[in-house]
Amino acid sequence: MKREFLSIIVPAYNEEPTIEIFLNEAEKYTSRMPVDVEYLFVNDGSSDNTLAVLKKLSEENKKVRYLSFSRNFGKEAAIYAGMKYSKGDYVVIMDADLQDPPSLLPEMYRLITEEGFDCVGSRRVDRKGEPPIRSFFARLFYRMINRMSKTDVVDGARDFQMMRRKVVDAILSMPEKNRFSKGIFGWVGFKKKWLEYENVERVAGETKWSFWKLLVYALDGILAFTTVPLVFSSLLGILFCLIALIMILFIIVRTIAFGDPTSGWPSLACIIIFVSGVQLFCIGILGQYLAKTYIETKNRPIFLIGETNIEEDMTKEAKENEQ
């Protein structure tokens, strides 16, 4: 009987110090599972020796496969590429820094195969080790997007999850360029189970996610899964029209009753500047949605591969099958 196949997708950007540690740790747990395994590393245009390490590991371990982008396309593109080139009956997405504990893999597999779940996700129950300001804004983001969007984005959810092939195929059917995987995972639905665990520090190296990058990523997520900001800008415009109408009526009544005083120019200038700022803010919201639409219409590829050993592996397998 043919054994089932598990693909572990590992996006890697400047993860030279962590890759070998991750592989050794993951092997401890996957070796106990009744599946064949491939480790599909996606080198996202790293500027260190990540690619060299991957080549070395792929020569030592036939389970290791890699895709190397022509430049840095971002983690979302790396996740999509890994899914596209994975061949497993089950697919896992993991970070190379061991903040996604490999010890959860056997339980994820059990929940899918024995309890009938289509997907098993992971979420952190705390943010130990994170700067307080980052934790505050992260919680604020999850509250905002869940109120504005119909897609369920769980607070503390990680990209680390195991999926059946049908879930992967559903995600791949959404080839949008502006990707927000946490939202996409929630949007496709299916029967899902969450595993909770305490936050784990990086095993080595430094995080690539600065506060600014996280803020931009959060804004992309909001724009990708809700049009509430457009509704908000429309309501804001209606509100200021009403305020302006009330002020006009007030001025007319005051002029008829008390004459036409000429005072109040500084306050009028402040009002004009404030309203102009609101208008620019609303135009900015429209511009963001228009920019996203413009990027989608150009239909450029989500990623470009500079180098890979997957084609070589597939050629070897074909020759072995012929023999």
Provide mean pLDDT across the span 179-195: 80
Same domain assignment for residues 9 and 139: yes
Same domain assignment for residues 24 and 125: yes
CB-based contacts of 255, cutoff 8 Å, min separation 6: none
- Whether 219 maps to a domain, the answer reads no
Q: For residue range 206-234, list pLDDT tens digits in order.
A: 655 555 666 666 666 666 666 667 667 77
Instruction: Give the pLDDT confidence score for residue 222 in this predicted structure.
Output: 66
Contact assessment for residue 89 and residue 109, using Cβ atoms and an 8 Å cutoff: no
Same domain assignment for residues 34 and 167: yes
- Rounded Cα distance, 195 and 107, in Å: 9
Same domain assignment for residues 161 and 256: no
Same domain assignment for residues 288 and 157: no
Same domain assignment for residues 154 and 192: yes
CB-based contacts of 123, cutoff 8 Å, min separation 6: 154, 155, 156, 157, 158, 194, 195, 196, 197
- Whether 221 maps to a domain, the answer reads no
Instruction: Give the pLDDT confidence score for residue 91 in this predicted structure.
Output: 92
- Whether 141 maps to a domain, the answer reads yes
Q: For residue range 155-168, list pLDDT tens digits in order.
A: 667 888 898 898 88
- Whether 237 maps to a domain, the answer reads yes
Same domain assignment for residues 250 and 170: no
Instruction: Give the pLDDT confidence score for residue 323 in this predicted structure.
Output: 45
Q: For residue range 256-315, list pLDDT tens digits in order.
A: 776 655 556 656 666 776 777 777 777 777 777 777 777 777 777 888 888 888 875 544
Q: For residue range 111-132, list pLDDT tens digits in order.
A: 888 888 888 888 877 666 566 6
Element (H, E) at 167: helix 165-172
- Whether 240 maps to a domain, the answer reads yes
Same domain assignment for residues 18 and 165: yes
- Whether 107 maps to a domain, the answer reads yes
Contact assessment for residue 305 and residue 67, using Cβ atoms and an 8 Å cutoff: yes
Same domain assignment for residues 293 and 307: no
Same domain assignment for residues 118 and 232: no
Expressed as residue numbers, the domain containing 54 is 4-208+303-322
Q: For residue range 54-84, list pLDDT tens digits in order.
A: 988 888 888 889 898 988 888 888 889 898 8
- Whether 284 maps to a domain, the answer reads yes
Same domain assignment for residues 183 and 279: no
Identify the band that residue 4 occupies on the pLDDT scale cut at 50, 70 and 90: confident
35-43 and 90-93 strand pairing: unpaired
- Rounded Cα distance, 4 and 183, in Å: 28
CATH number, residue 109: 3.90.550.10
Same domain assignment for residues 94 and 197: yes
Identify the band that residue 317 occupies on the pLDDT scale cut at 50, 70 and 90: very low
- Whether 9 maps to a domain, the answer reads yes
Overall number of domains in the chain? 2
Instruction: Give the pLDDT confidence score for residue 102 in this predicted structure.
Output: 87
